[in-house]
Amino acid sequence: MDNYFGRILARLAPRSTKVRGADNADLSRRLVVCEAEVLELRREVDELRMDSLRIAELYDLVFERLKSEAPVSS
């Protein structure tokens, strides 16, 4: 029965069949690599968020300073 479903799967999704046929050690290594990449990307996103907050704070400070130093025209 498993062979029957395997042939159907091979016809419907050949790339999935290749992954299904790979050994567990290879899949485990690929999973570890992918998890490490996701962790690195999360760190980069967090760093970009922090940079964005710093830029917003500096923009606010500059805007407030320019507004307070602007001459009042009547």
- Residues 57-73: pLDDT tens digits? 999 999 999 999 877 66
Single out the residue of 9, 5, 25, 27 nearest to residue 17, CA to CA: 9
Residue 12 is assigned to a structural domain of this protein:
no
Q: Grade residue 9 by pLDDT with cuts at 50, 70 and 90.
A: low
Measured between alpha carbons, how far is 29 from 22 in angstroms, rounded to an integer? 11
Residue 9 is assigned to a structural domain of this protein:
no
Could you list the residue range(s) of the whole structural domain that residue 55 is in? 23-69
Residue 46 is assigned to a structural domain of this protein:
yes
Measured between alpha carbons, how far is 62 from 52 in angstroms, rounded to an integer? 15
Structurally, the chain folds into a number of domains equal to 1
- What is the reported pTM? 0.54
Residue 7 is assigned to a structural domain of this protein:
no
Residue 47 is assigned to a structural domain of this protein:
yes
Residue 5 is assigned to a structural domain of this protein:
no
Matching residue, tokens 């046929």: 21
Residue 43 is assigned to a structural domain of this protein:
yes
Residue 34 is assigned to a structural domain of this protein:
yes
Q: At residue 26, does pLDDT exceed 90?
A: no
